Amino acid sequence: MDQVFRSDVALGMPLYREVKHKIMEALRDGEWKPGEPVPAEKRLCERFGVSVGTLRKAVDELTAENILIRHQGRGTFVASHSQDRYMFGFFHICPKTGQKEYPKVEFIRLSREKVDADGAKRLGVARGAKVVRILNRLGLGGRAVIVDEIFLPERFFAGMSEEQVRERRTTLYQLYQDEFDVAVLRTEERLDAVGASADVAALLGIAEDTPLLHIVRRAMTFRDEVVELRHSYVLTDNHEYFAHEESTLRTPGE
């Protein structure tokens, strides 16, 4: 039965990986949207010409990578950016003693600018390309702890308004998905230490040049397009960076 079409997959690739590749193609093409269920196992087995066991191995990997989410009795869904998914999948700052908590996000401003050379390289756009710049301040434990400076290529987010960002009732990633049809699949982060600039120091209420953790995050879509560049400046006297695997993602409506 296992006769999956092989024209555009690597020779020698295990069959379940070929099926995974085909599912990812369907996601990149927008066949199944974030928050939507994927077809039942029987239909997918017929589509790819494979056994249930082969299909389940492919789905297991996609589930482990948080691309698909299984819910007993309801089926398998394309991951959607609920608040819990952002909290456990993308937000890695927590108290040095205590549990991770949802940050209180304070919108500062939105502007449109030309990206500098470093930002252009990280976003994969031309130097001087138009970007949307968002500045937020995040509080934890009743204190300002993080400043987020976010750059979005305008070609993905044309028309984004200050009101949309300020009045949103969910995460920015959910806003990207719901209002601009941009789904963040994965992120990569680089960490270093910096001294607080005058602007960041003023927002955090600290002295200029206070040591901060600097997190540079790029967010990518199913097509591996970079849709967000985020610089996070974190005060670490009482907080730290902590990342680990979580299995508490939720399907829509749960």
Which residue is listed with tokens 């070929």?
18
Q: How high is the pLDDT of residue 44?
A: 94
Q: Taking Cα atoms as reference points, which of 105, 109, 114 lies closest to residue 137? A: 105
Q: Taking Cα atoms as reference points, which of 188, 180, 252, 176 lies closest to residue 220? A: 188
Cα–Cα distance list, 134 to 43, 70, 112, 151 (Å):
43, 34, 9, 7
Are residues 215 and 169 located together in one domain of the fold?
yes
Are residues 101 and 218 located together in one domain of the fold?
yes
Grouping H, G, I as helix, E, B as strand and the rest as coil, residue 57 is helix
Q: Which residues contact 204 (CB under 8 A, 6 or more apart)?
A: 137, 144, 145, 147, 196, 210, 233, 235
| CATH code, 44 | 1.10.10.10
In angstroms, the first-to-last Cα distance of the chain is 36
Are residues 163 and 37 located together in one domain of the fold?
no
Residue 4 lies in a domain: no
According to DSSP, the β-strands at 186-195 and 211-220 are antiparallel
Residue 235 lies in a domain: yes
Determine the structural domain holding residue 95 and report its residue range.
83-241
Residue 115 lies in a domain: yes
Q: How far apart are CA 136 and CA 105, in angstroms?
A: 7
Q: Which of 32, 59, 78 is a domain's end point?
A: 78
Residue 37's H or E segment, with its range, is none
128 sits in the region (left: phi over 0; alpha: psi -120 to 50; else beta) called: left
Please answer whether residues 129 and 153 qualify as being in contact, where contact means their C-beta atoms are separated by less than 8 angstroms.
Answer: yes
Q: Which of 26, 53, 78 is a domain's end point?
A: 78
Q: Which of 58, 78, 98 is a domain's end point?
A: 78
Are residues 72 and 91 located together in one domain of the fold?
no
- How many CB atoms neighbour CB 147 within 10 A? 24
Are residues 128 and 226 located together in one domain of the fold?
yes
Residue 247 lies in a domain: no
Are residues 119 and 43 located together in one domain of the fold?
no
Are residues 150 and 191 located together in one domain of the fold?
yes
Please answer whether residues 152 and 228 qualify as being in contact, where contact means their C-beta atoms are separated by less than 8 angstroms.
Answer: yes
Are residues 67 and 99 located together in one domain of the fold?
no
Are residues 29 and 118 located together in one domain of the fold?
no
Q: How high is the pLDDT of residue 249?
A: 36
User: Could you tell me the mean pLDDT of each successive run of 10 residues in the chain, 254 residues long?
Assistant: 49 84 85 87 94 94 83 82 54 87 94 97 96 97 96 96 92 90 89 98 98 97 92 96 58 34
Distance of CA 167 to the CA centre of its chain: 20
Q: How high is the pLDDT of residue 250?
A: 37
Please tell me the total count of domains within the chain. Answer: 2
Are residues 57 and 126 located together in one domain of the fold?
no
